[in-house]
Amino acid sequence: MSKKIMYMALAILLISSCTTAWRSFHAITGVKKITKDELKVQLHDPDLTIIDVRDTKDWESSSLKIPGAIRENPYDVRSWSKKYDKRQRIVLYCA
């Protein structure tokens, strides 16, 4: 496991419908989950990057999105994880 990838994410929020994405990311990084309430406290932190990892179909059909969240493919973590600042906290979510 790459230290760069581990340092990339300090927190993670994934809901049960995102089991596949969570398992993929957790297998690569070993990063923990956080609750919605824990995330709400951090939403205005400039050092926080929020990534929406819902399947494309679910993402496109949803009217509920966290403002400022970035959409990424949940099945391709290895390719997109390199483009985020490893010093920032990164939260992945899907709902």
pLDDT tens sequence across 30-83: 767 788 888 888 888 888 899 998 888 888 898 888 888 999 988 888 888 888
pLDDT at residue 10, as a whole number? 33
Enclosing domain of residue 57? 3-93
**CATH code (residue 44):** 3.40.250
pLDDT at residue 25, as a whole number? 65
In sequence order, the β-bridge partners of residue 50 are 91
Q: What is the 3-state secondary structure (H, E, C) of the chain?
A: CCHHHHHHCCCECCCHHHHHHHHHHHHHHCCCECCHHHHHHHCCCCCEEEEECCCHHHHHHCCCCCCCCEECCCCCHHHHHHHCCCCCEEEEECC
* Domain count for the chain: 1
